[in-house]
Amino acid sequence: RHCRSPTKDEKNMAQRIRKAFVMSVNDGCEAEYTKRHSPIWPELEAVLKEHGVHNYSIFLLPETRQLFAYAEIEDEARWAAIAKTEVCQKWWSRMGDIMPANPDGSPVATDLTETFHLD
């Protein structure tokens, strides 16, 4: 049998941290929220990838206007550093009229606790 070492991507995937959180969109702004994410700005996409974000998805529950977000990240500090980037600050400003925001402009978000996972 031939044994091989895991590739860099395989090692990276094994070490990713799964993040999930809930936000919301203002009543009547659901279509605009989707429009603004179709697609996101290329410079925002680049910042997310540069900070180790993978498999980022956001889902809308129309009945409650809740947004469920899921991302896999490489590092908590790099994830937190995204908020300090100029492009993230501009994105928050752009989105502030269609979703609840904190005093610093960030979207109101609640982290979720993982209760089950299956690879």
Place of tokens 């959180």: 21
Tokens of 58: 């956001």
Residue 37 bears catalytic tag = yes
Mapping DSSP to helix (H, G, I), strand (E, B) and coil, where does residue 1 land? Answer: coil
Contacts of 81 (CB under 8 A, 6+ apart): 51
Q: Write out the H or E segment, with its range, that includes residue 94.
A: helix 86-95
Out of 2, 37, 51, 54, the active site residue is 37
Residues that are catalytic: 37
